[in-house]
Amino acid sequence: MGRYIIRRILWGIAMLFIVSAVIFLIFYILPSADPAVLRAGRNAGPAQIAQIRHSLGLDKPVWRQYLDYMQQVFLHFNFGYSYQYNVPVRQLIFSRLPATIWLTVGAVIIWLAVGLSIGIVSAVRRRSILDRTTMTGSLALISAPVFWLGLVSLYLFADDIGVWKIFPGQGAFAAANNPLQKAEAMILPWLVLAAATSAIYARYMRASMIDTMSEDYIRTARAKGLPERTVIRRHAVRSAITPIVTLIGLDVGTLLAGNAILTETVFNIPGVGRLLYNAIGVSDLTVIQGITLFGAFFIVFFNLVVDIAYAYLDPRVRYS
């Protein structure tokens, strides 16, 4: 077990190096704008630009630039400076992370609670009206774009422009002062972000449950004379949830990496996704690079967590 975890950690670190190199190469080969020109401002002459290029190290060979960058990242945890804001990228990301974490954690809790329970009940009561209704509804939610769903929810429920003024609307999170207000401000974003994902999870869980319910060991559990709810909870759900754990890891990782960009934009939440969105708009390369690398870290990290969790869930993994 210990060796398994160490192996996974080493592999994760190797993965991060590979990802960082690929990111660096992509931004070098495909510059949407010359960083030196952007940095120099509107009225700069060629000499000025050349000087900036030299001071940023952009005139060095690409492998040298990569090594310099990686050295800064690993030894000093320094991701460079934002051209736009002229502050360290690290500081920018850290100032935006809390909002994204708030958004992600709440949404994950909601979609797991809603998605998994709907999935389980639909599988157990297969072909019932409940099953058909929830599965049709889930298809509708999966098909609805997040920005549309967000705008509709604001139009219906926001306390400023809503038809029913129930929940805090746009920008409420930035204005909130205490955790309670923050949570309240997050209600609509959480629901909107969780909607499509809980629908997907409901479908996955349903399919996984249906597969599991036809397993021989479920028949054994019934033949033992266990009550049906014990058969479902202890035997079926326990197996059916294992593949879902993989999904959770990936989804949490990508959300923290800025994948909540649409929700953050619609609700005006100052998170990493918004930062990325703005940075792309003005070609702020160091910020984009920094966020991408951070994102890669989160994804690798949560995959590691999933692998370890998997070994605990499935005893067969531990020994192989």
Partner 1 sequence: MTEPLLQVEDLRVKFSTEDGIVHAVDGISYTVNAGQTLGIVGESGSGKSVSSLTMLGLTRNQGADIEGRIMFQGKDLVTLPDDDLRKIRGNEIAMIFQDPLSSLHPFYKVGVQLTEAVHAHRNVSKSAARDRAVELLDLVGIPDPSRRVDQFPHEFSGGMRQRVMIAMALANEPKLLIADEPTTALDVTVQAQILALLDDLQSRLGMAIIIITHDLGVVAEITDQIAVMYAGRIVERAPTSAIFGSPQHPYTWGLLKSIPRLDSPRGEELVPIAGRPPSLIKRPSGCHFHPRCPYVREEHKRIDPGLEPVPDDPTHSVACLLTAELRQRIWRGLSEGETSATLRHLVVEEEQQPATAHAAPRVAEDDPS
Least distance CB 219 / partner 1 (angstroms): 6
Using the minimum distance from each CB to partner 1, give the nearer residue, 8 or 126: 126
Q: Are 83 and 74 in contact (CB under 8 A)?
A: no
Tokens of 115: 């998605």
**Integer angstrom CA distances of residue 17 from 14, 93, 254, 258:** 5, 20, 18, 20
Using the minimum distance from each CB to partner 1, give the nearer residue, 54 or 234: 234
Using the minimum distance from each CB to partner 1, give the nearer residue, 125 or 165: 125
Least distance CB 246 / partner 1 (angstroms): 16
Using the minimum distance from each CB to partner 1, give the nearer residue, 242 or 254: 242
Q: Are 146 and 192 in contact (CB under 8 A)?
A: yes
Using the minimum distance from each CB to partner 1, give the nearer residue, 46 or 216: 216
Report which residue type is found at 318.
Answer: R
Least distance CB 230 / partner 1 (angstroms): 8
Tokens of 239: 């197996």
Give dist(CA 35, CA 27) in Å, integer: 11
Using the minimum distance from each CB to partner 1, give the nearer residue, 54 or 224: 224
Using the minimum distance from each CB to partner 1, give the nearer residue, 8 or 222: 222
**Integer angstrom CA distances of residue 12 from 7, 97, 147, 303:** 9, 22, 33, 8
Q: Can you list the positions of beta strands (E) in the chain? A: none
Give dist(CA 80, CA 289) in Å, integer: 10
Q: Is 149 exposed, middle or buried (0-12, 13-18, 19+ CB in 10 A)?
A: buried
Contacts with partner 1, residue ranges (CB under 8 A): 215-217, 219-227, 234-235, 238-239, 313-316, 319
Half-sphere exposure of 313 (CA within 13 A, CB side): 18
**Helix (H) and strand (E) counts in the chain:** 17, 0
Using the minimum distance from each CB to partner 1, give the nearer residue, 29 or 223: 223
CB burial readout 268-280, b (16+ within 10 A) else e: ebbbbbbbbeebe
Least distance CB 132 / partner 1 (angstroms): 17
Residue among 30, 177, 190, 32 nearest 108 (CA): 190
Least distance CB 90 / partner 1 (angstroms): 42
